[in-house]
């Protein structure tokens, strides 16, 4: 029986079994989960291209009052490009590395994501999932860090942990993926190549779009669909690693098996979103092994539920879920995973 999202006052979820290791979890999965299938991989590409084309057709022909729906649909379809690039970053799209690199660059190019920079940062997240002060994807600040980081950083953090969570990945994108100096020297040539690819794309595509459709055309055809994509980029990352009963752990307490199996959360979304986004929401098996292609994630998830169901957390995407996360899951608190900004402010006022 799988676990569901638990309310803030509930007991923290943990592995509570030192004999459960990553090796045992991975070995429990069917070998078919790891098999690459070129037909399925390229079918995902076709689905995304057709979905994006349909979205842009809707933008072109929709009356003004339907444009928000067209933008949101197109942003969701564009997320499919990210998921394909995501598989390429994990070398699970194709057997040949150069194919993964080429397809990854092409898919992430219109999203203005430098492929290698994102690949390296994201793989670091997989190695250090839910490791406090180390994980680079939506880790919570400690109360001491929050109080000492200055008004600008604290303000930005408060914004993206609250009701404006959906702009969080834009801040992450801007801060982390273009400065090759923050990467190891051996990776800097790859980062520079990927930055050059997206800069060249932007230098050609954006002026062309503005010259042919005007500034409004740039906003209408690129910026707003791109923000729709970032809504999902932010939402997937936040929801799939944040719950009131799922704790980030300091390094001396951190356990990789617990982090990947218990610290990752499966979330069900409406079918058309999971279809366009290639099952990125089936997130637990992806953290158990990045070698599983996106089209095999559901098979792997069913296996994990069968063998490790007591540790598998499933939830459903709705307003209540987002309200719980954005109201309660703010600052790291060792006893109950999170402390809200209101709790922290009240505690500070009492001291």
At 191-229, the pLDDT tens digits run: 999 999 999 999 999 999 999 999 999 999 999 999 999
Structure confidence at residue 6 (pLDDT): 47
Give the whole-angstrom CA distance, residue 351 versus residue 344.
11
Report CA 182 to chain centroid distance, whole Å. 21
Give the whole-angstrom CA distance, residue 126 versus residue 182.
18
Read off the pLDDT of residues 19-71 as tens digits, 9 standing for 90 and up: 899 999 999 999 999 999 999 999 999 999 999 999 999 999 999 999 999 99
Give the whole-angstrom CA distance, residue 351 versus residue 342.
14
Residues in the chain with pLDDT values less than 70? 1-10
For residues 22 and 256, is the Cβ–Cβ distance under 8 A? Answer: yes
Give the whole-angstrom CA distance, residue 332 versus residue 247.
8
Beta strand segments in the chain, E: 3-4, 141-142, 265-268, 313-316, 331-333, 337-339
* Number of Cβ atoms within 10 Å of the Cβ of 350: 6
Structure confidence at residue 181 (pLDDT): 86
């Amino acid at each position: 029986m799988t676990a569901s999202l638990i309310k803030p006052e509930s007991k923290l979820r943990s592995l509570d079994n030192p004999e459960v290791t990553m090796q045992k979890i991975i070995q429990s999965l069917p070998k078919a989960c790891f098999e690459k299938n070129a037909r399925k991989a390229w079918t995902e590409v076709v689905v995304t291209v057709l979905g994006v084309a349909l979205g842009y057709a809707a933008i072109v022909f929709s009356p003004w009052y339907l444009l928000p729906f067209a933008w949101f649909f197109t942003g969701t379809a564009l997320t499919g490009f990210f998921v394909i690039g995501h598989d390429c970053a994990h070398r699970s799209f194709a057997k040949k590395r150069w194919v993964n690199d080429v397809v990854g660059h092409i898919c992430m190019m219109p999203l203005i994501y430098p492929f290698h920079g994102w690949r390296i940062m994201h793989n670091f997240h997989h190695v250090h999932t839910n490791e406090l002060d180390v994980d680079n994807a939506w880790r919570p600040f400690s109360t001491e860090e929050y109080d000492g980081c200055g008004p600008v950083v604290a303000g930005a953090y408060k914004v993206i942990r609250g009701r404006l969570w959906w702009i969080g990945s834009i801040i992450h994108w801007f801060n982390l993926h273009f400065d090759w100096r923050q990467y190891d020297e051996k990776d800097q040539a790859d980062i520079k190549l990927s930055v050059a690819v997206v800069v060249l794309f932007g230098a050609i595509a954006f002026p062309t779009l503005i010259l042919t459709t005007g500034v409004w055309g740039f906003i209408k055809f690129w910026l707003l669909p791109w923000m729709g994509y970032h809504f999902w980029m932010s939402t997937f990352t936040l929801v799939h690693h944040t719950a009131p009963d799922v704790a980030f752990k300091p390094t001396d307490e951190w356990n990789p098996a617990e982090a990947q199996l218990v610290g990752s959360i499966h979330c069900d979304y409406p079918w058309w979103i999971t279809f366009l986004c290639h099952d990125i929401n089936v997130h637990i098996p992806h953290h158990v092994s990045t070698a599983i292609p996106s089209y095999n994630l559901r098979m792997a998830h069913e296996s994990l539920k069968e063998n490790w169901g007591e540790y598998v957390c499933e939830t459903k995407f709705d307003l209540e879920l987002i309200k719980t996360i954005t109201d309660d899951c703010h600052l790291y608190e060792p006893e109950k995973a999170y402390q809200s900004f209101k709790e922290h402010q009240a505690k500070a006022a009492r001291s």
